[in-house]
Structure 1
């Protein structure tokens, strides 16, 4: 049963890789001069062919062919072919990651980085082939066996191969993750993140080599075919990598139905903050009947979200004369006191800024309810958002403010302090 699962997972991963690589090559017509794309195609081709040689069914079929042409290295030649194809595939991935980096982000520039990666992959390829040939492997049942002390050459082969695969995948994951952080929101950034996530699964796939080393040291042989767990990990890794590589092609279609869903979700996240502002300043609500009707359509959901952003900002502007000028210092004081006692700690600058803005709104609502203005420098307690450059960033920022408004103990403390102060003034 496990062999059948491994066969299905590996052959499916092979089919997905080869078909996906071919489809991407067809969709990239006119852009094939881009070096990054050549690394994508080369990696996909090597990985697809390597996956075709690892399933147990392939090993069983090859064993029926007799000694020719496998007599050069014994039956384990098929294992060598699959391993070296995977080594080349991961090497091309590392070169892909270097090719999309800015020139000043790599020691020696992009070309120097690519030459180093090519030299490392070529060196690992030659050393691993040499170690495997010297081990003189033979077939014993379903095992690839190295006799006597030659088993240590096979252990060295697996160790070298594993070290190279882990290193190259780590390089690819780190560099693509870094490139994704520099990019604006969109399909390309999502694709890079998917590919970086695929490297984590790839590391789990490679972890199966540890069992091979243990088997070699204890019995002198290893199972040449891939296990079911490794095959499933390979399938998940391939799906994530291919999805990331083709994200610009399918990302637009996905966004057309995903954006309305996300807009409705973000609309509800802003509900607590918007509700209290509308209750205090009813004039901020724009065309309520039209808004309720428009939310039923995809474009209406996004339009309603944008209108809600405008209404929240209008409410903040209307409340500016009521913002207590000491709000920023009160939040800083509360944060310092809780940090010293092991309480809630605001560690990031944008988290502190969102909390200050939420506290300013809470303080203004209390003062507006009491009809108390702060005529002397009313803007001292007003902290605008940190220069958001787009509507998506503005929405994300106000969601942080809304979350702080409803859940932050610092905001609750500021609200209580303003209320006590207003009560003392009235008294």
Structure 2
């Protein structure tokens, strides 16, 4: 199982690296994608070297098998260095020239690599079966070697996560922001993966040794990191293909949720239906966006047509009831709008002649409606209040009693 997860993780990283390099060579992406490809290439190769089956092959081919640990960790550190360069590309307005900051991060990566090499050689590591064993009394050097790599990996991941979060906050909704969030999640999982190596530090200090291959938890974390990283980096390619059907499903569901309010308006004002034949049918997925747009317009047209039937006393009753309620401001506004619509419908249904447009004192608007999606979401709240609110039911009953008595 460990072999399978390690090889799958390595495969995801390596295929993704080849894909990024191919796109970069065709000039279809920015140069920073080469850093992304470098990270995936180094991480995938490191994961492959840690697979037990690969270790067995290397034991038969290489004269110094204990170097496998060194090479794998050096590759992981190189992958982390590439992540720092990616983070720099995500935040180009940071203080200082871009080239100077890039050089500093490369110099820091080289310094970590050289320091780690010195500690590894100082530990006098040899192989014993499937474990790397430090020379007697030098377990501390092997522990320092692993602690240095873990600290450097975590620092690089922190730098990347900070850049990803800042960039996602500046990015409007869409596949790009989805990709940034998936990449942030991959960074969090990768941090857990890096910290998992701290159990080796404890074994280095107490026993002066550690296993050469990755355990199942480590390889699983690596595989999950690879999947989320690849998904985040390619979200602009697959995001719209998935987002469009999901958007249509949401539109059709919202269309159905608006049905109670629309039906009540249509029963008294059939002229609001732009297409009477299509209005009553459940729309197909392909026309769900348009059907929702049409339904929003029809509800708003119905609301305007009811304004001459609005009753000042209904407005006052709704305001009085809301002043005693503990509803949040957006809910108060939705209940008020639903109560006014319900009262006007009762007035029209009873045949009360229109009296003009009365002045209204409504709750201060707290919801900004800028898009059709915003408008539809707001009307869903109004519909919910129209069918469920006790305040709306009370105003409706009082108006019905009033017009019936009149």
Smaller-chain TM-score range? 0.7 to 0.9
Q: Is residue 2:368 matched to residue 1:383?
A: no
Aligned to 2:218: 230
CA contact 1:101–1:110 (8 Å) conserved in 2: no
**Alpha carbon RMSD of aligned pairs, Å?**
3.6
Give the whole-Å Cα distance in 2 for the aligned partners of 1:137 and 1:45: 26
Deviations 1:212-262 (A, max 9, x none): 123223322111111111111111111111111112222333345433333
Aligned to 1:94: 84
Aligned to 1:221: 209
CA contact 1:360–1:383 (8 Å) conserved in 2: no
Q: What is the total number of aligned residue pairs between the two structures?
A: 394
Q: CA deviation at 1:309?
A: 2.4
Return closer, same or farther for 1:123/1:417 CA change in 2, 3 Å cut-off. Answer: farther
Return closer, same or farther for 1:172/1:273 CA change in 2, 3 Å cut-off. Answer: farther
Return closer, same or farther for 1:15/1:208 CA change in 2, 3 Å cut-off. Answer: same
Q: Which ranges of structure 2 fall in alignment gaps of 5 or more residues?
A: none
Q: Which ranges of structure 1 fall in alignment gaps of 5 or more residues?
A: 339-345, 347-351
* Higher alpha-carbon deviation: 46-55 or 246-255: 246-255
Matches within 5 A, 1:62-77: 62-65=58-61, 68=63, 70=64, 75-77=65-67
Q: Secondary structure at the match of 1:222?
A: strand
Give the whole-Å Cα distance in 2 for the aligned partners of 1:358 and 1:414: 11
Aligned to 1:246: 234
Q: Secondary structure at the match of 1:185?
A: coil
CA contact 1:35–1:99 (8 Å) conserved in 2: no
Aligned to 1:307: 294
CA contact 1:14–1:48 (8 Å) conserved in 2: yes
TM-score (norm. length: structure 2): 0.81
* Higher alpha-carbon deviation: 82-91 or 368-377: 368-377
Return closer, same or farther for 1:422/1:171 CA change in 2, 3 Å cut-off. Answer: farther
- Of 364, 387, 392 in structure 1, the residue corresponding to residue 340 of structure 2 is 364
Q: Secondary structure at the match of 2:146?
A: helix
Give the whole-Å Cα distance in 1 for the aligned partners of 2:387 and 2:103: 54
- Of 66, 73, 77 in structure 2, the residue corresponding to residue 83 of structure 1 is 73
Return closer, same or farther for 1:221/1:333 CA change in 2, 3 Å cut-off. Answer: farther
TM-score (norm. length: structure 1): 0.78
Greater Cα radius of gyration, structure 1 or 2: 2
Return closer, same or farther for 1:416/1:39 CA change in 2, 3 Å cut-off. Answer: same
Aligned to 1:54: 50
Q: Is residue 2:254 matched to residue 1:266?
A: yes
CA contact 1:355–1:405 (8 Å) conserved in 2: no
Return closer, same or farther for 1:363/1:124 CA change in 2, 3 Å cut-off. Answer: farther
Return closer, same or farther for 1:382/1:150 CA change in 2, 3 Å cut-off. Answer: same
